[in-house]
Amino acid sequence: MTAPAIRKRSRARRKRALVRFKRPGTSVLQQNAAPTAPAAPDSPWFMLRVFAILLLAVVVQTTVAPFLTVLGAKPDVALVIVVCLAMMRGPVLGAIVGFSTGLLIDVALVQTLGISSFLFTLAGYFSGRYAEGVDLDSWFPPLITVFISSLVVQLLNTVIMFLLGVQASAGFILLRVVLPSAFINALLAAPVFIVCRWWLGGDRKDALFTK
Amino acid sequence: MARKTVVKRQAVLAVLLLVSMAMLTWYFREPVGGVLHSTQRGGLRVISPLESGVSTVVSPFRDSYNWVTGVFSAQGENESLRIEADRLRTEVLSLREADAENKRLRDLLGFINQPSFPRDYKNVPSRVIGRSGSSWNATITINRGSDSGVALGQTVVSGQGLVGQISAVTTNSSQVLLIIDHTSHVEAKLQNGAASGTVVGSINGMLEMDFVDKDQKVLKNDAVVTSGTGKLFVKGIPIGVVDEAADQEVEYFKRISITPFVDFGRLEEVLVLIPPAGTDEAPLMAEGAGS
């Protein structure tokens, strides 16, 4: 084969590889999904992966998150992970993951058992329900779902705290805890979503009770 | 979607929510030694080594972050610190004189054998391995537990002053309720003896001294120390300085804002004060800690 023919052939090969990589019509999130080696939804291996990410969420929440403060508010990494998993795997797994994560958080922070598991169960279930009707290839649904979930969870938590007798200014809680926390969580939504998607091998909403 | 599927989903949600509510109610009703509290301590015992490992791994990054933020704040603080240094230099000279005078007076009064600081207490140096990830609680987790002699209610200090009190213990780690937590109450007094009251924390991380008699004269920068009343905390440990004393007519008592000596955001090492065997142990403020 002549030299120009070889060059022409290798150019064509490079072009085909680039087209495969870009996958026209797909978003950045989808390109990063890397749906390699998908695990069966209900397999022990899959559940082990879910458990590992939950444990990591709790440890990160107690060791790293307290230092990433914005206007005094801390990010709720565990909640972001619960919402992302729920969006990828549906409401039932979302609720179960939310319950488990909340329980681990309550244990790790020596808080009243049940508060976080209650709130995270709700967040997981309704995030999963919302995600059934949206296109997860865009960056917007994870961001807005995490933002709204954070707002609702923080507001419900505020109500519970007030019922338990905590005294604080409502304005302070709203401006220095609820809103900054929701914003910083929303900023974390896209990277956490990409990492979770990669770790669990892509979306599969047919895991539990969705048909 | 099939109706059966919808019902199954809602059943799962309802069960999980009911279990959460049941745990919440049970946790509140049972004593500290109850089943749920014990299970929680068992879980913490498993998680704390993980926290300790991750804390060690991320500490260089955390130190870098603190260094960068410290440089920015240091520029602003430089001028005020220079003025403060001049003032402190003068104060050190007068304190040395006062110290010498104090020693003479203590000898005279026979107080030399009754030091305010409990010298017979054992100090257990501990490393901070975790912090409360919630905006509602101000707690830290340290890497010492009952194996090192740590027990509920013991006082925790740093080089700057009072940090808090042990609120939960496992064999290899403990949780410290910081004095800035909204559930914390510390019996305190001004170092000059002018007033006494209760130092309480708040959600916004500020300290206030409440229940101070309105007739008492309180000046800015007066030092506040633990009074030791009620034996909740060891007596005479520095807490902070008076920032502002509000005198509102509608209130029965004076409320004093306090700037703590301890920088709670940068705590790395603390000391747990363990009383000598046979000492009347401090009562547990940790009964409802974290609740």
Q: How far is B274 from chain A (nearest CA, A)?
A: 22
Q: How far is A37 from chain B (nearest CA, A)?
A: 28
Residue A78 is classified by DSSP as H
Rounded to an integer, the average pLDDT of B186-200 is: 86
Q: How far is A164 from chain B (nearest CA, A)?
A: 8
d(CA B231, CA B227): 9
What six digits make up the tokens of A161?
């705290």
Q: How far is A21 from chain B (nearest CA, A)?
A: 34
For chains A and B, CB pairs below 8 A equal: 150
Q: Look at residue B142 and tell me whether its pLDDT is greater than 70.
A: yes
Share of chain B above pLDDT 70, in %: 83
Q: Nearest-CA residue of chain A relative to B5?
A: A209
Q: Which residues of chain A have pLDDT under 70?
A: 1-42, 71, 202-211
Report the DSSP pairing between strands B185-190 and B196-200.
antiparallel
Interchain proximity A107–B40, CB inside 8 Å = yes
Residues of A whose CB is below 8 A from B290 = 109-112
A6-20, B87-101, B263-277: range with highest mean pLDDT: B263-277
Whether A113 and B36 have beta carbons less than 8 Å apart is answered as yes
Kindly report which listed range (A9-18, B11-20, B188-197, B282-291) carries the lowest average pLDDT score: B282-291
**Hey, is A88 helix, strand or coil?**
helix
Rounded to an integer, the average pLDDT of B209-214 is: 83
Q: Which residues pair with B223 in a beta bridge?
A: B241
Give the CB-side neighbour count of residue A122, counting CA atoms within 13 A. Answer: 19
pLDDT number for residue A19: 40
pLDDT number for residue B83: 81
pLDDT number for residue A205: 53
B110-119, B168-177, B195-204: range with highest mean pLDDT: B168-177
Report the DSSP pairing between strands B122-131 and B139-142.
antiparallel
The confidence band for B227, taking pLDDT boundaries of 50, 70 and 90, is confident
Kindly report which listed range (B34-38, B96-100, B220-224, B259-263) carries the lowest average pLDDT score: B96-100
The better pLDDT of the pair A71, B128 is held by: B128
Instruction: Please indicate if any CB of chain A lies within 8 Å of the CB of B15.
Output: no
Residue A138 is classified by DSSP as S
A33-47, B57-71, B238-252: range with highest mean pLDDT: B238-252
pLDDT number for residue A81: 92
Count the neighbouring beta carbons within 10 Å of the beta carbon of residue A149: 30
The better pLDDT of the pair B207, B253 is held by: B207
The confidence band for B47, taking pLDDT boundaries of 50, 70 and 90, is confident
Instruction: Please indicate if any CB of chain B lies within 8 Å of the CB of A57.
Output: no
State the DSSP string of chain B. Answer: --HHHHHHHHHHHHHHHHHHHHHHHHHHHS-TTSHHHHHHHHHHHHHHHHHHHHHHHHHHHHHHHHHHHHHHHHHHHHHHHHHHHHHHHHHHHHHHHHHHHHHHHHHHHTGGGS-SS-TTSEEEEEEEEEE--SSS--EEEES--GGGT--TT-EEE-SSSEEEEEEEE-SS-EEEEETTSTT-EEEEEETTSS-EEEEE--TTS-EEEEEE-TTS---TT-EEEE--GGGSS-TT-EEEEEEEEE--TT-SSEEEEEEESS-GGG--EEEEEEPPTTS-PPP-GGGGTT-
Q: Comparing C-alpha atoms, which of B187, B173, B286, B288 is closest to residue B234?
A: B187
Q: Nearest-CA residue of chain B relative to A211?
A: B1
d(CA A191, CA A208): 25
Instruction: Please indicate if any CB of chain B lies within 8 Å of the CB of A133.
Output: no
Instruction: Please indicate if any CB of chain B lies within 8 Å of the CB of A177.
Output: yes
Q: Which residues pair with B168 in a beta bridge?
A: B175
> Under 8 Å CB-to-CB from A156, ≥6 apart: which residues?
A119, A122
Instruction: Please indicate if any CB of chain A lies within 8 Å of the CB of B69.
Output: no
Whether B286 and A110 have beta carbons less than 8 Å apart is answered as no
- Does this model's pTM top 0.90? no
pLDDT number for residue A152: 94
If residue A14 lies in a helix (H) or strand (E), which one and from where to where? helix A3-22
The better pLDDT of the pair A32, B191 is held by: B191
Helix axes A44-63, A91-108, angle to 10 degrees: 40
The better pLDDT of the pair A164, B147 is held by: B147
The better pLDDT of the pair B259, B88 is held by: B259
Q: Look at residue B263 and tell me whether its pLDDT is greater than 80.
A: yes
Interface of A with B in 103-122 (CB under 8 A): 104-115, 117-118, 121-122
If residue A80 lies in a helix (H) or strand (E), which one and from where to where? helix A77-89
The confidence band for B102, taking pLDDT boundaries of 50, 70 and 90, is low
Q: Comparing C-alpha atoms, which of A115, A111, A75 is closest to residue A98?
A: A115
Instruction: Please indicate if any CB of chain B lies within 8 Å of the CB of A183.
Output: no
